[in-house]
Amino acid sequence: MIRPTVSMGGFEIRKGWLDPAAQAAMAADIRAVAAAAPFFAPLTPWGRPMSVRMTSAGRYGWFTDRSGYRYVDRHPSGVPWPPIPASVLAVWRALVPAGRDPDCCLVNHYAATARMGMHRDADEKDFSFPVLSISLGDSALFRMGGPSRRDPTSTVLLESGDVVVFGGPARLAYHGIDRIRAGSSTLLPEGGRINLTCRVVD
């Protein structure tokens, strides 16, 4: 099957990369990750709670609190992060010709009212590796900009099974989630959207 690719400002969007069966299998894998390392509500360095809940898989998990943004090797409960599921690694290996697997798979759960402000993924040590993002569940309006907050932006609707790869000039581009289309997918029994972002950390 030919999967359409949309290129927008260096963001390569693979529409429908995961078929419904692959989406269901990956969602089950993520439920297992969350059982081992439960979702938690992070705080920004300014003490504000983020609207998403998160967990991670891999050598590191991305974390934020009043001490700042950083990668840590354990869940807040003290347990190590579980391994990145094979289903997620298979997507990375198919689309990222890096010869190296990611160190972190950040798992964000968006409820109907959750948002993600414009930000850059800039806490890694080597920006030569791209970020790979997988959408599961409800659709989301994804906003993409450039390396400056003042750059023009554009939006695209990300649906369940879509994959985005951004590297090169887009690696440090600002991006965010404007809104979730609640009820647009039946993949997740609890509703909402799961977003997986895979990164090489060090």
Per-residue confidence at 1, pLDDT binned at 50, 70, 90? low
For residue 31, give the nearest of 151, 188, 192 by alpha carbon.
188
Q: Is a pLDDT exceeding 60 seen at residue 2?
A: no
> Three-class SS of residue 66?
coil
Q: What is the pLDDT of residue 8?
A: 86
pLDDT tens by residue, 147-183: 999 999 999 999 999 999 999 999 999 999 999 999 9
Question: Under a CB-based contact definition with an 8 Å cutoff, are residues 69 and 122 in contact?
Answer: no
C-alpha span between 148 and 15 (Å, rounded):
27
User: Is residue 22 packed enough to be buried (19+ CB in 10 Å), middle (13-18) or exposed (0-12)?
Assistant: middle
**CA 112 to the chain's CA centroid:** 17
pLDDT tens by residue, 121-139: 999 999 999 999 999 999 9
5-199: CATH superfamily = Alpha-ketoglutarate-dependent dioxygenase AlkB-like (2.60.120.590)
Mean of the pLDDT values across residues 73-83?
97
For residue 107, give the nearest of 181, 57, 45 by alpha carbon.
57
Going from N- to C-terminal start, the domains of the chain cover: 5-199
**Residue 34 backbone class (left: φ over 0; alpha: ψ -120 to 50; beta: rest):** alpha
Q: What is the pLDDT of residue 3?
A: 67
Compute the mean pLDDT over every residue in the chain, rounded to the nearest whole number.
95
* Threshold 0.75, pTM exceeds: yes
